[in-house]
Amino acid sequence: MRPMFVFLVAKMVANGEVSERTYRGASVIELIHTATLVHDDVVDDSNRRRGFFSINALWKNKIAVLVGDYLLSKGLLLSIDNNDFDLLKIISIAVREMSEGELLQIEKARKLDITEEVYYEIIRQKTATLIAACCSLGAASVKPDSQDIEKMRRFGELIGMAFQIKDDLFDYGDEKIGKPTGIDIKEQKMTLPLIYVLNNASQKDKNWLINSIKNHNKDKKRVKEVITFVKENNGLEYAVERMKAFQAEALNILETYPESTYKSSLELMVNYVIERKK
């Protein structure tokens, strides 16, 4: 999905043209994204990645960290060796922001005091910043120093925000979606449906919710009760509303470009982000 954003944006802003820089940019994104996933599995002590054993499950943390470092350095060197310093800067900022977002989430999870504004900042850094980098990188690869770079960065950021809210909603879905529910609650992650309900609940209900998440997050019955409470108090409806607002803003940016198959493909991808089933 991420390299597709690089190529489609490049072709949309340059009337179907791509350069060697576009291919390198897409490759760098994949190398660095894979490096962050390898490191994430170590941090989260996760044994599986996309249905397969993770590297740390097969060869322990030490090798996993080294493999992640190797992939990161390969990505950086691909840019440096070809003097793509503008592309390298875009990607380096994304890596820094992803780390900041993860640290901010860890800090806030201890107190469960995430406001809606802080939540948006966390998902902007953790998820949206990489998709934003893909889109701005696509534009920069064919039109260096153009206004398209910032415009496409914002476009990608909006898609990333909608993408993460959709992920949040899966936690409150049913078995038809094919994902287990209540995972975020069990891990004490504050997502938008829950934040909205907490901010609008009575003090009594708020205390019950916080107590449930802090002290009973492994109790399946209690987690189910929290999910039901969030659903009954319009948490999902509010999250869907915000997700669609980000989608609409992203589509508005696309409207400033002339019609093309690449623009149509990007519109399809924006819609897929909020309509996907997994």
Query: Using an 8 Å Cβ cutoff, are 194 and 230 in contact?
Result: yes
pLDDT at 182: 67
Answer whether residue 237 shows pLDDT above 60.
yes
Burial (CB count within 10 angstroms: exposed 0-12, middle 13-18, buried 19+), residue 65: middle
Answer whether residue 245 shows pLDDT above 90.
yes
Which stretches of 126-260 are DSSP H helices?
129-142, 148-170, 183-186, 192-200, 203-215, 220-232, 235-254
Query: Using an 8 Å Cβ cutoff, are 224 and 148 in contact?
Result: no
Answer whether residue 274 shows pLDDT above 90.
no
**Mean pLDDT on 232-253:** 93
Longest CA span, the chain: 60
Question: Which pLDDT tens digit goes with each residue over 69-90?
Answer: 888 899 889 889 988 898 889 9
Answer whether residue 165 shows pLDDT above 90.
yes
pLDDT at 57: 77
Quickly count: other Cβ atoms within 10 Å of residue 174's Cβ.
8
Determine the Cα–Cα distance for residues 121 and 135; give it in Å rounded to an integer.
19
Rg of the Cα trace of the chain? 20
Which of the four pLDDT bands, split at 50, 70 and 90, describes residue 246?
Answer: very high
**Residue among 182, 166, 201, 184 nearest 275 (CA):** 166
Determine the Cα–Cα distance for residues 226 and 185; give it in Å rounded to an integer.
8
Residue 97 CB contacts under 8 Å (≥ 6 apart), including other chains: 124, 125, 129
Question: Which pLDDT tens digit goes with each residue over 168-180?
Answer: 888 787 644 444 5
Better-predicted residue by pLDDT, 48 or 258: 258
Give the global pTM: 0.86
Name all domains of the chain by residue range, CATH numbers in brackets: 2-259 (1.10.600.10)
pLDDT at 178: 44
**Mean pLDDT on 19-48:** 84
Determine the Cα–Cα distance for residues 10 and 22; give it in Å rounded to an integer.
7
Q: What percent of the chain has pLDDT over 90?
A: 40
Answer whether residue 160 shows pLDDT above 90.
yes
**Mean pLDDT on 17-46:** 85
pLDDT at 181: 63
Which residues sit opposite 52 in a β-bridge?
A: 49
